Amino acid sequence: MSFPATRLRRLRRTDTLRALVRETSLSLDDVVMPLFACPGESVVRPVAGLPGIAQRSVDEIVREAHELTAAGVRAVLLFGIPDSKDADGSGAWDDDGIVQRALRALRAEAPGLTLLTDVCLCEYTEHGHCGTLDGDSVANDETLESLVRTAVSHVEAGADAVCPSDMMDGRVGAIRSALPEVPIVSYAVKYASAFYGPFREVAESAPSFGDRRGYQMDPANAREALQECALDLEEGADVLMVKPALPYLDVIRAVRERFDSPVWAYQVSGEYAMVRAAADAGHLEEHRAALEALTAIKRAGAGTIVTYWAKDLARWL
Ligand SMILES: [Zn+2]
């Protein structure tokens, strides 16, 4: 039926009518807050490119965890900024490493919080690449062993799930063999994106030479994303993550339609920073733009979103 019998505006008339027919909703159950652990005590070091986000020492991470829990956020994704770096990134699997210390403290002091860890080496290597180098490129198979050691040490320190983000071939299978019972949230589809800029500042992980196009995906490719997902599932991944989110809604949708596993998206630092910068300049309203972007990512098919707005969302919802 068409106009005048059909009038779609009828259900847009009031807040309640709109809510009754809303197809997509956001919930604090579906967000994960990234946290950055750094050495020291009472350290809260803001990051210029990511207003509201900071590197925090372990005691401050615990304090922030309490605030997140009180606000209703139930899961965090931990990154570490180590004291020192080396060629192989051995700080990543150090029992007394920064993420391991943060995990033990959070496990003890914030027992209600679900602890996910980013498993990669770029924050721990002096060259900033995601694994051990062979000449100018990252050696895939040598790096797998380091990733496994890192994932195992995170779990021993209290991680509930590990999230390999390095994009080496075969890393999910390698971690799965070592950790048969731990959920693996695979950054299955991670593009070599310009939108990671502010993150590299907060995680101090910018490559000292070259870029990550030799292992992260080409932004032009969507079918290859489905191949990555299929391989990761075969290797034992429990969750497929797409990163970044907003520039890749078509990919999120394609992954959602092809696979039955949970699909997550990482709304990356650049997506957050763009909105914050435009809001700070008075060009748009932060909370409306953030909610619209998050809703779009869910509408595209992501069940859960890693987002720097997780804490704000608690206030907005
Ligand atoms: Zn990395």
> In angstroms, rounded to a whole number, what is the distance separating the alpha carbons of residues 317 and 314?
6
Cα 244 to Cα 86, 117, 136, 278: the distances in Å are 28, 18, 26, 19
> In angstroms, rounded to a whole number, what is the distance separating the alpha carbons of residues 209 and 136?
9
- How many angstroms separate the alpha carbon of residue 251 from the centre of ligand 1? 21
27-316: CATH superfamily:
Aldolase class I (3.20.20.70)
Q: How is 179-246 classified by DSSP, letter by letter?
A: -TTS-BEEEEEEB--GGGHHHHHHHT---SSS-STTTSBPTT-SHHHHHHHHHHHHHT-SEEEEES-G
- In total, the chain counts a number of residues equal to 317
> In angstroms, rounded to a whole number, what is the distance separating the alpha carbons of residues 256 and 253?
5
190 is a catalytic site residue: yes
**pLDDT score for 298:** 98
pLDDT band at 18 (very low <50, low <70, confident <90, very high): very high
226-285 pLDDT, tens digit per residue, is: 999 999 999 999 999 999 999 999 999 999 999 999 999 999 999 999 999 999 999 999
pLDDT band at 200 (very low <50, low <70, confident <90, very high): confident
* Residues β-bridged to residue 115: 76
**pLDDT score for 203:** 82
Amino acid, single-letter form, for residue 82: P
**In the predicted structure, residue 204 carries a pLDDT above the cut 90:** no
Question: Alpha helices of the chain — where are they, by DSSP H?
Answer: 15-20, 58-71, 98-109, 140-157, 171-178, 197-203, 223-235, 249-258, 269-280, 286-300, 310-316
List, in order, residues 6 or more apart from 210 with CB less than 8 Å away: 129, 136
311 is a catalytic site residue: no
**pLDDT score for 106:** 98
Structure tokens at 303: 């069940």
In a 3-state reduction of DSSP, which class is residue 9? Answer: helix
- How many angstroms separate the alpha carbon of residue 166 from the centre of ligand 1? 5
- How many angstroms separate the alpha carbon of residue 131 from the centre of ligand 1? 8
98-123 pLDDT, tens digit per residue, is: 999 999 999 999 999 999 999 999 99
- How many angstroms separate the alpha carbon of residue 167 from the centre of ligand 1? 8
**pLDDT score for 41:** 97
Over residues 61-80, the mean pLDDT reads: 97
**Which one has a higher pLDDT value, 210 or 23?**
23
Q: Positive or negative CA dihedral for 127, 130, 132, 138?
A: negative
User: Per the confidence metrics, is the pTM higher than 0.95?
Assistant: yes
Residues with CB under 5 A from ligand 1 (ion): 120, 122, 130
Please tell me what DSSP assigns to residue 12.
G
25-53 pLDDT, tens digit per residue, is: 999 999 999 999 999 999 999 988 899 89
